[in-house]
């Protein structure tokens, strides 16, 4: 029996009512309702704008810039309404009959169900991952264009506007549409299973927060089609450049960040409530796997910090479109205010992009070294320490910005102290390896690659935290090298580790181990050849975000460009492996890695409500080598949710 | 843990450390320093590098040793020993990094204090410190010498072995002043004046680079810092001062140069070849497209650049700051451009 057939038989309840036919299909939630709903809301946006301008007596009544801005709010609402994101709540609000336990939109019967509103956290997790990998590929292609232009000094393929758009959209896609939501996708799939829950706490909210992602991503890309070009002020979008000297494409960036941020916040709330209220009996906080701890702290970071970037982007957009003066110095605004608000989110965002990776590394290393995590409690506590310290370091991005000089030394001290909890984690992973029985499968290769690359990125972070060195290398290629060692060598390697590790659980099939190893080595080598020389370029005097540079850096830039094309090509191996293995790979066992945590104690892929029997957690999650140790037992109690369904 | 394995681990660590040290020493990482501040920053750099090499060697040694010694055989089913932790070890790897980062913080704070301090001991000497106003705009630098009758230069001229205090500001968006050989950097923020201290230690030409993305011409926003002997500097500065004291002769070419029009425009008589803005050799054709007489078209394009935008160029890249040019300078510039460089 193949895995796919198994899915069809067991993994979704039958739809409760017959599907609509004829023109009724236009009214049913789905892709037929999307186009006219988007048009309708586009019209509503135009109508409101023109009505207000007419009532106020403003001239002209038809202002393209304002209409575009308003449409970026209303059209996505139309899309979400069309796809069915609000159906249940609208029906409830207008008093129509609703069925709280309607599971017709739960679980996947065929590939088509992945393109619909679905409330199953496992389907949503896969939707997240496939969508984010799509944007990862697009963002990577933008980087390839950039490296092609940078292969030689002078201008070859693109003009300045296009080049500035390339690096701006590359960074924005990779951060807001890849790393952050990819971790949300892995968490979505794994966290409920790990804590013994049948689903997330708010499945309909979960579906809505997923469908905000394509909205944000395509809005970001659509800015290339806007007159005047895409936004070109860098992903940091500093005022006053972003608020005064940008084409209308900048508004697409401002609003895209809002939609992606809303998605993040909703998911984070969902994780928090799920982890706090839906743990299986016996799953105390100190028995939670470290990935659950990591998502818990990450979600706290998201909920506290994300509103700040929302604020900063709204203010810039108001300055740009409505001619307010938040950051306009000539009218009493404060340009540095933008940077303070922006980094108050965007530094914690670095940990939003790293802590889930720490969690994944802990899972993979413990299982594949066949040893308990060394110092489990200190590992969890250091996550909390990073959470708290993460909010006290934002101004280290502003050492040369001209802020209050006294702020520099305190921010340097907190930035350096954050190396201590991070060091605890690295040393604990190393101690976990010590005397283990190390199995070097692909996830473990990526986890070990992560540790070694993240150590280099962490050490270059020490250079940047030390104010005098930062003054020299700030805003140069040294910073480009540093963030790629942290976000590519760090976050992306753990995302790959996680995808390979849980691939058999998610798809019911095994990936190709040889291709996986090939992917790792190509990525590892290509990554170092691409990014390590950038340290040198930066220290020597090459600023970041330039399309043109002085001829003495030409040879090294050509070398970096060639290496980066190799790095880009390594992704093809990954994509081929995923597609081929998902379709044709050998059927996976329930627990191929012999792991103790709960997600591996159910079938691959898991039943539609995860646990046919309620798990009883009786011990710690990493008791490898302890004779007879169990993390959880199944003593035959049927899961209560399932009884209601049947 | 047996003694033999400790020796092996240490040997791997020494090898990794030696490799990292070779990379650190054999590659000429740092630009040749040209200021006292750069010398101090280089010290911090090597201080942090020494600590980093030690940490890198430790981590690399443990990973490599583990991969060699603790690999599972294929099909091995056994687990490792159930070691849950070791309080002594965990205290050690919390305390030791804490001590190291404290040391880095102290060294950095001391150097930062020294590098921000202006030596202002002897007010009597004329060059102590030399104050230069650094004015940035899209996409050009200009340097004003208040001690020398507000002389303005497109290059930064400094005397060697003299404390210099730069007072950096911007007229439009945020820029950033950086000279790699001086190792000093400071953002130029519109509406505020940010100080930066430099003590040049050797003569030469060094690049001035804008490091904060400031718009389409960002990559080309460069200038040169020329450090000369004190005598040569004084001769140049006093010459500039006298030129200003003489009868005001406004040359259109001087206005063109001083406002760095050449950083964005092509204009053959001035030797300008940039392509960010419209080609000023073709002004007559452009005025025709705009449907205006040449003189008033040029004037309007300088004072109110959004009134007519040449097709193929985005609106808003021409700074609006030139609207504040004094009328004699503006007239001279318009005449210079309208005459194709003859006036």
Q: What is the pLDDT of residues B141-161, one digit of tens each?
A: 999 999 888 888 889 999 999
Put simply, the answer to whether B56 touches A408 (Cβ < 8 Å) is: no
Residue in A closest to B206 by C-alpha:
A541
B184 touches chain A (CB under 8 A): yes
Q: pLDDT value at position A10?
A: 43
Q: pLDDT value at position A573?
A: 97
Q: What is the 3-state secondary structure (H, E, C) of chain B?
A: CCHHHHHHHHHHHHHHHHHHHHHHHHCCCCCCCCEHHHHHHHHHHHHHHHHHHHHHHHHHHHHHHHHHHCECCCCCCCCCCCCCCCHHHHHHHHHHHHHHHHHHHHHHHHHHHHHHCCCCCCCCCCCCCEEEEEEEECCEEEEEEHHHCCEEECCEEEECCCCEEEEEEECCCCEEEEECCCCEEEEECECCCEEEEECECCCEEEEEEECCCCCCCHHHCEEEEEEECHHHHHHHHHHHHHHHHCCCCCCHHHHHHHCCHHHCCEEHHHCEECCCCCCHHHHHHHHHHHCCCHHHHHHHHHHCCCCCCCCCCCCCCCCCHHHHCCHHHHHHHHHHHHCCCCC
Using an 8 Å CB-CB cutoff, list chain B residues near A469: 41, 44-45, 48, 108
Tell me, yes or no, whether B159 and B178 share the same domain: yes
Q: Rounded to a whole number, what is the distance in Å from the CA of B153 to chain A's nearest CA?
A: 23
CATH architecture of the domain A109-584 equals Up-down Bundle (1.20)
Contact between A145 and B261 under an 8 Å Cβ cutoff? The reply is no
Q: Rounded to a whole number, what is the distance in Å from the CA of A384 to chain B's nearest CA?
A: 15
Q: Nearest to residue A522, comparing CAs of A483, A496, A484, A503?
A: A496
ipTM confidence: 0.89
Q: Rounded to a whole number, what is the distance in Å from the CA of A281 to chain B's nearest CA?
A: 24
- Suggest the residue from B51, B83, B207 to mutate for an interface test with chain A (most A CBs closer than 10 A): B83
Residue in B closest to A167 by C-alpha:
B213
Tell me, yes or no, whether B229 and B330 share the same domain: no
Q: pLDDT value at position A98?
A: 76
Q: pLDDT value at position A163?
A: 93
Distance from the first to the final alpha carbon of chain B: 87
B137 touches chain A (CB under 8 A): no
A246, A375, A469 ranked by CB distance to B90: nearest: A375
Domain count, chain B: 3
Whether B224 is covered by a domain: the verdict is yes
Tell me, yes or no, whether B275 and B231 share the same domain: no
B27 touches chain A (CB under 8 A): yes
Contact between A212 and A81 under an 8 Å Cβ cutoff? The reply is no
In this structure, is the dihedral angle defined by the CA atoms of residues A230, A233, A238 and A243, taken in order, positive or negative? negative
Q: pLDDT value at position B302?
A: 87
Put simply, the answer to whether A160 touches B116 (Cβ < 8 Å) is: no
Q: How many CB atoms lie within 10 A of CB A136?
A: 21
Q: pLDDT value at position B249?
A: 65
Q: Rounded to a whole number, what is the distance in Å from the CA of B154 to chain A's nearest CA?
A: 19
Q: What is the spatial distance between Cα B157 and Cα A480, in angstroms, rounded to a whole number? A: 31
Structure tokens at B315: 């609106």
Q: pLDDT value at position A508?
A: 93
Contact between B169 and B189 under an 8 Å Cβ cutoff? The reply is yes
Structure tokens at A353: 């992009």
Whether B270 is covered by a domain: the verdict is yes
- Suggest the residue from A242, A406, A543, A550 to mutate for an interface test with chain B (most B CBs closer than 10 A): A543
Q: Where are the domains of chain A?
A: 1-9+23-98, 109-584
Put simply, the answer to whether A400 touches B187 (Cβ < 8 Å) is: yes
B46 touches chain A (CB under 8 A): no
Tell me, yes or no, whether B295 and B208 share the same domain: no
Q: What is the spatial distance between Cα A28 and Cα A19, in angstroms, rounded to a whole number? A: 9
Q: pLDDT value at position A637?
A: 63
Residue in B closest to A413 by C-alpha:
B105
Q: Rounded to a whole number, what is the distance in Å from the CA of A586 to chain B's nearest CA?
A: 18
Put simply, the answer to whether A543 touches B210 (Cβ < 8 Å) is: yes
Tell me, yes or no, whether B277 and B320 share the same domain: yes
Instruction: Please identify, among B245, B280, B308, the residue that sits at the C-terminal boundary of a domain.
Output: B245
Q: What is the spatial distance between Cα A645 and Cα A551, in angstroms, rounded to a whole number? A: 70
| Phi, psi (deg, nearest 5) at residue B110 | -65, -45
Residue in B closest to A428 by C-alpha:
B90
Tell me, yes or no, whether B226 and B275 share the same domain: no
Q: What is the 3-state secondary structure (H, E, C) of A288-325?
A: CCHHHHHHHHHHHHHHHHHHHHHHHHHHHHHHHHHCCC
Instruction: Please identify, among B228, B245, B262, the residue that sits at the C-terminal boundary of a domain.
Output: B245
10-residue mean pLDDT profile of chain B (343 residues): values are 83 95 93 94 96 95 94 87 91 94 95 83 60 92 90 91 93 94 94 93 95 90 93 92 74 79 84 82 86 86 84 75 79 86 75
Residue in B closest to A421 by C-alpha:
B94
Whether B307 is covered by a domain: the verdict is yes
Q: pLDDT value at position B120?
A: 55
Tell me, yes or no, whether B266 and B232 share the same domain: no
Tell me, yes or no, whether B214 and B283 share the same domain: no
Put simply, the answer to whether B70 touches A437 (Cβ < 8 Å) is: yes
Q: How many CB pairs under 8 A join A and B?
A: 262
B44, B219, B315 ranked by CB distance to A466: nearest: B44
Which portions of chain A are predicted below pLDDT 50?
1-12, 14, 641-646
Tell me, yes or no, whether B240 and B276 share the same domain: no
Using an 8 Å CB-CB cutoff, list chain A residues near B207: 541, 550
Contact between A415 and A396 under an 8 Å Cβ cutoff? The reply is yes
- Do you know the residue count of chain B? 343
CATH of the domain at B282: 1.10.760.10
Number of H helices, E strands in chain A: 23, 2
Q: Hunting for tokens 């264009």 — which residue is that?
A: A145
pTM: 0.90
Tell me, yes or no, whether B204 and B273 share the same domain: no
- A336-351 pLDDT, tens digit per residue, is 999 999 999 999 999 9
Put simply, the answer to whether A430 touches B212 (Cβ < 8 Å) is: no
Using an 8 Å CB-CB cutoff, list chain A residues near B38: 472
Instruction: Please identify, among B16, B42, B68, the residue that sits at the C-terminal boundary of a domain.
Output: B68
B207 touches chain A (CB under 8 A): yes
Put simply, the answer to whether B178 touches A475 (Cβ < 8 Å) is: yes
- A136-179 pLDDT, tens digit per residue, is 999 999 999 999 999 999 888 888 889 999 999 999 999 999 99
Whether B118 is covered by a domain: the verdict is no
Whether B121 is covered by a domain: the verdict is no
Q: pLDDT value at position B207?
A: 95
Tell me, yes or no, whether B11 and B34 share the same domain: yes
Put simply, the answer to whether A459 touches B52 (Cβ < 8 Å) is: yes
Tell me, yes or no, whether B265 and B220 share the same domain: no
Domain that residue B19 falls in: 1-68
């Amino acid at each position: 029996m193949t895995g796919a057939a198994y899915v069809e038989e067991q993994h979704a309840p039958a739809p409760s009512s017959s599907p609509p036919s004829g023109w009724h299909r236009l009214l049913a939630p789905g892709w037929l309702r999307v186009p006219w709903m988007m048009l309708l809301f586009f019209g509503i946006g135009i109508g409101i704008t023109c009505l207000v301008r007419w009532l106020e007596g403003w001239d002209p009544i038809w202002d393209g810039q304002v209409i575009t801005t308003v449409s970026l709010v209303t059209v996505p609402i139309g899309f979400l309404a069309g796809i069915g994101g609000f159906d249940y709540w609208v029906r409830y609000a207008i008093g129509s009959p609703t069925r709280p336990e309607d599971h017709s939109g739960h679980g996947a019967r065929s590939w088509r169900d992945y393109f619909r509103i679905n409330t199953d956290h496992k389907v949503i997790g896969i939707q997240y991952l496939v969508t984010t990998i799509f944007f990862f590929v697009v963002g990577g292609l933008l980087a390839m264009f950039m490296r092609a232009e940078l292969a030689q000094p002078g201008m070859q393929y693109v003009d300045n506007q296009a080049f500035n758009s390339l690096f701006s959209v590359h960074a924005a896609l990779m951060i807001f549409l890849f790393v952050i939501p990819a971790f949300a996708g892995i968490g979505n799939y794994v966290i409920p299973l790990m804590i013994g829950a049948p689903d997330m706490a708010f499945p309909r909210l979960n579906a809505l927060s997923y469908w905000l992602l394509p909205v944000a991503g395509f809005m970001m890309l659509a800015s290339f089609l806007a007159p005047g070009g895409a936004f070109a002020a860098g992903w940091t979008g500093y005022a006053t450049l972003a608020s005064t000297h940008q084409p209308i494409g900048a508004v697409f960036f401002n609003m895209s960040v809002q939609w992606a941020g809303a998605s993040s916040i909703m998911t984070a709330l969902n994780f928090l409530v799920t982890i706090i209220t839906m743990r299986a009996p016996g799953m105390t906080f100190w028995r939670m796997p470290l990935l659950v701890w990591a998502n818990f702290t990450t979600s706290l970071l998201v909920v506290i910090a994300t509103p700040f970037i929302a604020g900063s982007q709204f203010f810039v957009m108001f300055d740009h479109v409505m001619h307010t003066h938040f950051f306009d110095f000539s009218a009493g605004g404060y340009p540095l205010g933008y940077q303070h608000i922006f980094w108050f989110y965007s530094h914690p965002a670095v940990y939003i992009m790293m802590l889930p990776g720490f969690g994944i590394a802990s899972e993979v290393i413990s299982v594949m070294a066949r040893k308990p995590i060394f110092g489990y409690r200190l590992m969890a506590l250091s996550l909390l320490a990073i959470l708290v310290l993460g909010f006290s370091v934002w101004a280290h991005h502003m050492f040369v910005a001209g802020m209050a000089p006294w702020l520099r030394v305190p921010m340097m001290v907190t930035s350096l102290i954050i190396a201590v909890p991070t060091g605890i984690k690295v040393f604990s992973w190393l101690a976990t390896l010590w005397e283990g029985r190390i199995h070097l499968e692909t996830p473990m290769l990526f986890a070990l690659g992560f540790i070694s690359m993240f150590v280099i990125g962490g050490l270059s972070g020490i250079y940047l935290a030390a104010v005098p060195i930062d003054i020299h290398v700030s805003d140069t290629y040294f910073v480009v090298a540093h963030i790629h060692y942290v976000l590519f060598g760090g976050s992306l390697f753990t995302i790959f580790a996680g995808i390979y590790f849980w691939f058999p659980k998610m798809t019911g099939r095994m990936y190709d181990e040889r291709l996986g190893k090939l992917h790792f080595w190509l990525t590892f080598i290509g990554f170092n050849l691409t990014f390590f020389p950038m340290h040198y370029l930066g220290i020597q005097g090459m600023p970041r975000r330039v399309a043109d540079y002085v001829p003495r850096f030409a040879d090294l830039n050509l070398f970096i460009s060639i290496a980066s094309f190799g790095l880009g090509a390594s992704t093809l191996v990954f994509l081929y492996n995923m597609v081929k293995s998902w379709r044709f790979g050998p059927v996976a066992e329930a627990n191929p890695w012999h792991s103790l945590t709960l997600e591996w104690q159910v079938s691959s892929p898991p039943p539609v409500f995860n646990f046919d029997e309620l798990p009883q957690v009786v011990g710690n999650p990493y008791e490898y080598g302890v004779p007879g140790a169990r993390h959880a037992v199944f003593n035959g109690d049927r899961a209560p949710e399932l009884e209601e369904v049947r | 843990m047996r003694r033999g394995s400790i020796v092996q681990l240490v040997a791997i660590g020494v090898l990794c450390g030696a490799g990292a040290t070779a990379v650190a020493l054999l590659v000429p990482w740092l630009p040749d320093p040209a200021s006292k501040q750069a010398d101090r920053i280089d010290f911090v750099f090597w201080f942090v590098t020494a600590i980093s090499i030690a940490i890198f060697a430790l981590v690399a040694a443990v990973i490599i040793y583990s991969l060699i010694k603790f690999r599972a055989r294929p099909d091995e089913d056994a687990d490792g020993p159930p070691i849950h932790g070791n309080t002594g070890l965990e205290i050690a790897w919390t305390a030791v990094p804490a001590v190291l980062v404290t040391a880095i913080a102290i060294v950095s704070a001391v150097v930062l204090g020294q590098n921000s301090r202006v030596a202002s001991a002897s007010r009597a000497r004329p060059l102590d410190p030399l104050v230069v106003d650094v004015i940035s705009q899209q996409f050009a630098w200009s340097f004003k010498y208040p001690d020398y009758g507000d002389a303005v230069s497109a290059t930064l001229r400094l005397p060697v072995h003299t404390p210099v205090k730069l007072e950096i500001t911007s007229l439009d968006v945020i820029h950033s002043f950086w000279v790699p050989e001086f190792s000093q950097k400071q953002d130029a923020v519109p509406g505020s004046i940010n100080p930066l201290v430099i003590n040049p230690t050797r003569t030469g030409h060094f690049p001035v680079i804008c490091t904060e993305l400031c718009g389409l011409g960002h990559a080309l926003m460069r200038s040169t810092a020329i450090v000369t002997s004190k005598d040569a500097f004084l001769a140049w500065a006093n010459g500039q001062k006298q030129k200003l004291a003489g009868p005001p002769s406004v040359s259109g070419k001087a206005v063109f140069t001083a406002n760095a029009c050449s950083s964005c425009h092509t204009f053959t008589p001035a030797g300008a070849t940039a392509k960010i803005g419209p080609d000023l050799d073709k002004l007559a054709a452009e005025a025709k497209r705009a449907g205006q007489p040449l003189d008033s078209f040029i004037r309007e394009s300088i004072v109110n650049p959004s009134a007519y935008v040449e097709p193929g160029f985005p609106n808003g890249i021409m700074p609006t700051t030139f609207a504040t040019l004094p009328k004699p300078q503006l007239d001279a510039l318009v005449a210079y451009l309208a005459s194709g460089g003859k006036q």
